[in-house]
Amino acid sequence: MTTRTSPSICRVCMNFCPVEVEVTDGVVARVSGDRSNPIYRGYTCVKGRTQTTRYTSPSRLLHSLVRRADGTFAPIPTDEAIGAIAEKLTGIVDRFGPRSVALFGGTYMAMDSPVNLSMIDAFMTAVGSPLTFTTSTIDQPGKPLAKGFHGAWMAPSQAFDDPDVALLVGNNPFVSHQGRNGAPADFFRGLAARGGRLIVIDPRRTETAKRADLHLQPRPGEDATLLAGMLRVILTEGLSDAEFVAENVTGADALRAAVEPFTPEVVAERADVPAEDVVVAARIFALAGRGYAAAGTGPNMSAKGTLVEYLLLCLDTLCGHWMRAGDRVRNALSLVPAAIQPDTAQALPPFPAYGFGEQLRVRGLTMTAAGLPTAAMADEILLPGEGQVRAVVSVGGNPAACVPDQLKMVEALRSLDLLVQVDIQMSPTAALADYVIASTLPFEMPGTNLMVDFLPLYANGVGLSESWAHYTPAIVDPPDGSDVIEQWRFLHRLAGRMGLQLGLYPALGEVIHIEGSEPLQLDMTRDPDVDELFEHIHTGSRIPFSEIRRHPRGALFPDPPVHVRPRDPGWEGRLDVGNPIMLTDLRDELTAAEPDGYPFRLISRRLTHVMNAPTFAVPETRARHNPAFLHPADLAGLGVEAGDVVEIRSDRAAIVAVAEADDTVRPGTVSIAHAFGGLPGEEEDVRELGSNTGRLVADDGVHDRFSGQPRMSNIPVRITPAPAERR
């Protein structure tokens, strides 16, 4: 038996923890935190530590599969599958045009290799189809969209630069690690040690809320009302940063008029929180000096994500929570191209963030700053006519379980002429596919933390606090006798077999595009050299990639220091806190009414043991199903005991779930994770598989009108004991 330990990067979630991987006889045997790491300090979570099972589980796909005429699957050499897919895709494009091909990219597409995102763009550009859908528009699309209405400060926010206050709205970094990368407790401990304050707005007393100085536990879906109430306090009490506002902001009078009706009493009534807390929260936030406000998925999924994110930007802007000329940028991004890093103390005025590019055929949806609305994907497949989608290539995601309106999405995927799923297991989407391509796992591939490095460009309150960069080589080979392939290599080979030429842009494709950069024309006759691709993807990085590669455990790259530059002479851009579209949407919040007959609200959440869809329902992960967490008083009111199966019914569908008692949940809400359960119509054992909350959502019902994102949290539901046959 030979054992060795190699440093690497965990790529199970977006925290990208530096780890040490014990490899015994060529097999991943143990994953632990790298204690020598100055930022993560040896931190890992249970998902990271139990990922060994991904490498060894008998359920892992080691060979690609093809669906036979009788509906069963047979193994097929991956290269043969690629040849057959190429032929079919070419036929579909010839017959129905390039728009008949769509691609779906999931979280593992974005995570396992920094080459994937750019390769997807290269592939779809070569096919000639604009229809690339990702999870971005069913996650927090309000973030980039709101910047369009508000404008963007061209230097970083004060997010992790020693803030004196952090306002977290529906965001639970202790479980999700969405926040400052690293060990979640370190950030909050540091904040408290400096005398900084934490304000949390969440209908559940989450792991994060328990550490808050002030926790507001409102009705879900009332975040815009609450934030408007806080803005009103700040404006009427004169708590804003007058100098910053005078120099850099427009629209303050319009905002003042718009928030006038949101008195503490009105807000208290709608959101069901103490009026006093709204006032106190506003005062703490505004008087702290330095700080930031950030939202997570909860409020973004309440069908008004753009408005909520806009109001958060307004809060930070009124309080002047942006870096100023001369400030040192602590996290100057190492891997992201230097040319696109914000470093100037001036305002980029509002810009169009939707209404351009590809026009979808439903609900007036268009391309957006967050990408193409994924909520329209099922309709684009089902709606006959010019441009109808006939083939979907799905990489690193699980649309049959994760895209809201599961009933419609599954019907759509079943109706395709061709569905290709790149996966590590027989996920619900794989079960519907014509070809399942067996994928490599992260430790079998080189990687970098480019995706994490990029996060601060995406939004405030996410990413690293220091200039940290990390490259890992592949540290194990795929299992003996297996026939697995990297997602990017699959796309490259497929394009080659289709006779297409790929041009690969550096960085993250459409997500970060460097003006004027040239694509690398790939040799389509042979597999690319992965080192060459990595060099190219990191072209222009602030720290040369060759330097980053020299540090097997990653390194801090504080030098040369970056300081915020003063405003360009003659620059007149201003941030807009009075956008008329946003303020009209805000006004409508006061009269928003809910349907009768659905006394509960289903709210979204993450579970500690899984990353979205469960991977291999192994006992170690204790994640065989997704419980419906209810307040004990609600359980009693329903006549249900913990462990009983309940039916949860929306105006779209009904699911069953195992009830759990949880007094951290706000009464009247049911907190349940997504992405579980099997395919509709197939008899499911809820205690083994869990159930799919996406089934309760209609993709053309209540939605954010810019991103198309349907209401995926705060869903009106009715709960009853489950019918006897479903218990």
Ligand X SMILES: Nc1nc2c(c(=O)[nH]1)N[C@H]1C(S)=C(S)[C@@H](COP(=O)(O)OP(=O)(O)OC[C@H]3O[C@@H](n4cnc5c(=O)[nH]c(N)nc54)[C@H](O)[C@@H]3O)O[C@H]1N2
Does 296 engage in binding with ligand X (CB under 6 A)? yes
Nearest to 726 by CA among 671, 672, 689, 673: 689
Q: Confirm if 478 and 56 have CB atoms less than 8 A apart.
A: no
- Residue 16 site contact among ligand SF4, Mo ion, ligand X, none (CB < 5 to 8 Å, cut-off depends on kind): ligand SF4
Binding of ligand X by 422 (CB under 6 A): yes
Q: Is 138 among the residues that bind ligand X (CB under 6 A)?
A: yes
SS3 96: helix
CB 29 within 8 A of CB 57: no
Per-residue CA distances from 489 to 75, 131, 198 (Å): 20, 20, 45
Kindly state whether residue 690 participates in binding ligand X, applying the rule CB under 6 A. no
How big is the chain, counted in residues?
727
Contact between 380 and 362 (Cβ < 8 Å): yes
Instruction: Select from 13-21, 53-61, 337-345, 400-408 the region that touches ligand SF4 (CB under 6 A).
Output: 13-21
Question: Which is nearer to ligand X, 249 or 485 (by Cβ)?
Answer: 485
- Closest residue to ligand SF4, based on beta-carbon distance: 48
Q: Does 177 bind ligand SF4 (CB under 6 A)?
A: yes
Q: Which of residues 127-156 bind Mo ion (CB under 5 A)?
A: 139
Q: Does 483 bind ligand X (CB under 6 A)?
A: no
Helix or strand or coil: residue 245?
Answer: helix
Q: Which does 132 bind (CB under 5 to 8 A by kind): Mo ion, ligand SF4, ligand X, none?
A: none
Please report whether residue 141 would count as binding ligand X according to CB under 6 A: no
- 44 near ligand SF4, judged by CB under 6 A: yes
Closest distance of CB 630 from ligand SF4, Å: 28
Could you say whether residue 694 binds ligand X (CB under 6 A)? Answer: yes
Nearer residue to Mo ion within complex by CB, 177 or 601: 177
For residue 590, the minimal CB distance to ligand SF4 (Å) is 40
Site for ligand SF4 contains 16 (CB under 6 A): yes
Among positions 34, 223, 510, 662, the unique one binding ligand X when judged by CB under 6 A: 223
Longest dimension (CA), the chain: 73
Nearest approach, Cβ of 639 to ligand X (angstroms)?
Answer: 25
Q: How far is the CB of 135 from Mo ion (least distance, A)?
A: 6
Tell me how far CA of residue 337 lies from CA of 164, 341, 509, 534, 544, in angstroms. Answer: 30, 7, 12, 14, 10
Q: Which of 7, 8, 17, 286 binds ligand SF4 (CB under 6 A)?
A: 17
Residue 643 backbone dihedrals phi, psi, to 5 degrees: 95, -15
Indicate which of ligand SF4, ligand X, Mo ion, none lies near residue 118 (CB less than 5 to 8 Å, by partner kind): none
DSSP track, 581-610: HHHHHHHHHTT----TT--EEEE----TT-
Nearer to ligand SF4 (CB atom), residue 183 or residue 702: 183
Using the minimum distance from each CB to ligand SF4, give the nearer residue, 49 or 205.
49
Q: How far is the CB of 486 from ligand X (least distance, A)?
A: 8
Cβ proximity to Mo ion, 278 vs 372, nearer residue: 372
The residue at minimum Cβ distance from Mo ion is 139
Edge to edge, what strands does the sheet with 291-295 contain?
A: 214-216, 197-201, 165-169, 291-295
What's the rounded Cα separation, in Å, for the pair 646 and 628? 8
Q: Does 296 bind Mo ion (CB under 5 A)?
A: no
Total residues binding ligand X (CB under 6 A): 67
HEC string for 366-395: EEECCEECHHHHHHHHHCCCCCCCCEEEEE
Tell me how far CA of residue 216 lies from CA of 220, 267, 313, 571, 593, in angstroms.
11, 12, 20, 40, 22
Q: Does 302 help bind ligand X (rule: CB under 6 A)?
A: yes
Query: Which of ligand X, Mo ion, ligand SF4, none does 142 bind, CB closer than 5 to 8 A by kind?
Result: none
Total binding residues for ligand SF4 by CB under 6 A?
11
What are the tokens at 486?
Answer: 């990297």
Classify 419 as helix, strand or coil: strand
Report in angstroms how near the CB of residue 353 gets to ligand SF4 at its nearest: 30
Q: Which of 34, 112, 241, 704 binds ligand X (CB under 6 A)?
A: 112
What is the nearest approach in angstroms of ligand X to the Cβ of residue 166? Answer: 13
Choice between 179 and 337, CB closer to ligand SF4: 179
Choice between 248 and 429, CB closer to ligand X: 429
Query: Is the N-terminal amide bond of 566 cis, ω within 30° of 0?
Result: no
In 3D space, the residue among 137, 226, 127, 209 whose CA is nearest the CA of residue 175 turns out to be 209
- How would you classify the pairing of strands 391-395 and 101-105? parallel
Nearest distance from residue 227's CB to ligand X, in Å?
10
By CB under 6 A, name the one of 31, 126, 169, 575 that touches ligand X: 169
Using the CB atoms, write b or e for 165-194: b if 16+ within 10 Å: bbbbbbbbbbbbbbbbbbbbeebbeebeee
Options 10, 120, 201, 273; binder of ligand X; rule CB under 6 A: 201
Question: Of 65 and 370, which has the nearer Cβ to Mo ion?
Answer: 370
- Measured from the CB of residue 507, what is the shortest distance to Mo ion in angstroms? 21
Residue 444 is a binding residue for ligand X (CB under 6 A): no
4-23 as b/e: b if 16+ CB within 10 A: eebbbbbbbbbbbbbbbbbb
Among the candidate windows 65-73, 143-151, 417-425, 497-505, which touches ligand X by CB under 6 A? Answer: 417-425
Q: Does 197 bind ligand SF4 (CB under 6 A)?
A: no
Cβ 102 to ligand X shortest distance, Å: 14
Quote the least distance from Cβ 487 to ligand X, whole Å.
5
Residue 170 makes contact with ligand X by CB under 6 A: yes
> Which H/E stretch holds residue 216?
strand 214-216
Cα dist from 225 to 178, 236, 264, 283, 560, whole Å = 24, 16, 10, 17, 44
The binder of ligand X chosen from 184, 404, 447, 528 (CB under 6 A): 404
To ligand X, the closest distance from the beta carbon of 120 in angstroms equals 13
As separate numbers, helices (DSSP H) first and strands (DSSP E) second, the chain gives: 26, 32
Question: What is the nearest approach in angstroms of ligand X to the Cβ of residue 407?
Answer: 13
CA distances from 254 to 222, 274, 584, 674 (A): 21, 27, 11, 39
User: Using alpha carbons only, what angle is made at residue 29 by residues 27 and 31, rounded to the nearest 5 degrees?
Assistant: 125
Task: Tell which one of 37, 137, 604, 621 touches ligand X (CB under 6 A).
Answer: 604
Give the Cα separation of 310 and 143 in Å (integer): 8
As a whole number of angstroms, the distance between CA 217 and CA 665 comes to 9
Q: Which stretch binds ligand X (CB under 6 A): 419-427, 519-527, 554-562, 639-647?
A: 419-427
Nearest to 610 by CA among 598, 594, 597, 621: 621
- Residue 113 as a binder of ligand SF4 (CB under 6 A): the answer is no
Pick the closer one to Mo ion by CB: 13 or 623.
13
Tell me which residues in 640-659 interact with ligand SF4 (CB under 6 A): none
Beta strands in 25-129 (DSSP E): 27-33, 64-67, 73-76, 101-105
| DSSP-derived 3-state class of residue 647 | strand
- Partner whose footprint covers residue 655, from ligand SF4, Mo ion, ligand X, none (CB < 5 to 8 Å by kind): none
Shortest reach from residue 470's CB to ligand SF4, in Å: 12
Spatial strand order of the sheet with 435-438 comes to 73-76, 64-67, 435-438, 418-423, 391-395, 101-105, 132-134
Q: The tokens of 167 are what?
A: 């306002």
Interface residues with ligand SF4 (CB under 6 A) are 10, 12-13, 15-17, 44-45, 47-48, 177
Interface residues with ligand X (CB under 6 A) are 13, 47, 106-108, 112, 135, 138-139, 169-173, 175-178, 201-204, 206, 220-221, 223, 296-299, 301-302, 396-399, 402, 404, 422-425, 427, 429, 439, 441-442, 487, 603-608, 610-613, 615, 671, 674-675, 693-694, 712-714
